[in-house]
Amino acid sequence: MEINVIEDDLIRNIQHNFSEQYPFLKLQFYRNPHQPGEASSRREQLSASLPIEEVTMFHTGGKIDIGQDKTVAEVEADFLHRLGLCVQIMRKAGNIWITTTDTDQWTLQQQNDKGREYSRPRTDDLPEDFYLEDVD
């Protein structure tokens, strides 16, 4: 599974293509790369409406392997080294998106599965009579 990145494409299209494969993951683009194990600064986040040619360090298109066995760290490094794009993969956790800095060695499939698990409504913590109505 690959994402084809061309210079005149918009960031939002790349994000959409990625999320079609991994609905519980999100690809964010930044001005500068982040250090391993660290999150990118929100101030560095790029607008989804920008064309790739305005943010890349290199001016060539290319394909990035986003197969389910690729790790987050590998995909982020491929975007940087092959296309000059600074990205960070985020995982859905309920109603929020979290960085995957502590789990960058997990595969995309593991991350997506964990996002699905964390985004399901939890009912196991509710008391047995939670859904019963009071009768007056």
Is there a domain that residue 125 lies in? no
pTM comes to 0.82
Is there a domain that residue 43 lies in? yes
Per-residue pLDDT reduced to its tens digit, 87-125: 999 999 988 898 888 888 999 999 999 999 988 766 666
What pLDDT, on a 0 to 100 scale, did the predictor assign at position 8? Answer: 84
Q: How far apart are CA 124 and CA 113, in angstroms?
A: 19
* Residue spans of alpha helices (H) in the chain: 11-21, 72-83, 108-119
Q: How far apart are CA 112 and CA 1, in angstroms?
A: 15
Is there a domain that residue 136 lies in? no
Count of domains in the chain?
1
What pLDDT, on a 0 to 100 scale, did the predictor assign at position 104? Answer: 87
Range of the domain at 50: 2-119
Is there a domain that residue 73 lies in? yes
Is there a domain that residue 134 lies in? no
Burial group, residue 96, by CB count within 10 angstroms (0-12, 13-18, 19+):
exposed
Is there a domain that residue 128 lies in? no
